[in-house]
Amino acid sequence: MEHGAAGHLAGGTHHAFRDRGEGFCVFNDLATAALVARRDHGVRRLAVVDLDVHQGNGTAALLRGDPGVFTLSLHGAKNYPFQKEVSSLDVELPDGCEDADYLRALDGALEAVAAHRPELLLYQAGVDALAGDRLGRLALTHEGLRRRDARVFELTARLGVPLVVTLGGGYGRDIEATIEAHKNVYRGLVERLG
């Protein structure tokens, strides 16, 4: 974290619970990282910003009740998991949600994250909100996803806190579009680092 950011290419496994895996996720790396940061590294307040199109149900369940952790999940209302857990803030989006409405919802949600005054931000940057994703049901463009990521990166810069980025979902019929979206997350992170 000496550089202010870190990335985990195989992470974002936000559906796993303490006693079981779920939704392609065996172990919940986000919740584990949050708990280790709090217990072993003196992080008093952190936020998990989960922008995968599916609610981070395992993360919400594992971290619920810890006043030092704020969990945000911005996700499709009618998408998996069909029985949602309760995050600190859940923002449900309608099927077909496009860039402008998504980014407007995100802006308000990120202000709630900022109000928590985190010392560390864990970002689940799934790209399954991309239009045409087989499991996504939203309709963001590549530019919309880049603007989404930029908002998260700008928040961490404004707050002066380190950032951990994990990838997440992406199930597009056009695998090249999904790969491009994942690459754009890390391009944006590199730009943030200057």
Residues tagged active-site? 15
Contacts of 103 (CB under 8 A, 6+ apart): 144, 147, 148, 151
Distance linking the first and last C-alpha atoms of the chain: 15
Gap between the Cα atoms of 82 and 91, Å rounded: 15
